[in-house]
Structure 1
C-alpha cells in the first residue's frame, strides 16, 4: 500500500473509533474516562492531519544559515562604564593587594 492509502485507512479507522466512542458515551455517560478517550481520539485526528500535510508537501532542504556577524569596534570602551566596579582578581580600586 502507498502512504496515501495507509493514511486513508488510518483516517477511516479513526472515524470508526470516534463513532464508537460517541455511542459508548451515550451508554455510559460523560465520565472522566470517556472524556479522556474522546480527547485522545481528537489528538490522534490532529496528529494524522499533520502527518498527511507533512507527507503531501515534503520540505525542501533548507540552505544552512550563516551566523550573523557581529562587528567589534577597535575603539576603547568608555571607562565611565566601570566606575562602580572592582577589578576582578586584583582587589578594590585604589588599594593594594595583600
Structure 2
C-alpha cells in the first residue's frame, strides 16, 4: 500500500469511529464526563490525521490532470462563420 492509501484507510476508519461515537452518544447521552472525553478524543484524532495528511510529502501538491487526447481531424468550418475574432476585429473592417 502507498502512503496515500494508508492515510485514506485511516481517515475512513476515523470517520467510522466518529459515526459510532455519535450513535453511542445518542444511547448514553452527551452529558457524562466519560462521553465528553471520548467525543473530544475522537475529534482530536480526526484533526491530527487531517494535519498529518497536509504535512505528508507529495499529498499536499495538487495532482496533475489526466491527459486529454485531441483529434487531428479538422474542425467543422461552420463553427467559424459569422463570428468576430476577439481582439482582431471584424473581417470586413481594418484595424486603425
Q: Is TM more than 0.5 here?
A: yes
User: How many residue pairs end up in the alignment?
Assistant: 58
What RMSD in Å do the two structures reach over aligned CA positions?
A: 1.4
Larger radius of gyration: 1
Q: Give CA deviations for 1:24-64 in whole Å, capped at 9, x if unaligned.
A: 00101111111101110110111101110111249xxxxxx
Scaled by the length of structure 2, what TM-score is found? 0.57
Q: Match of 1:27?
A: 27
Which of structure 1's runs of 4+ aligned residues deviate more than 4 A?
A: none
Scaled by the length of structure 1, what TM-score is found? 0.56
Counterparts of 1:32 and 1:49, CA distance in 2: 26
Structure 2 residue ranges without an equivalent (≥5): 62-96
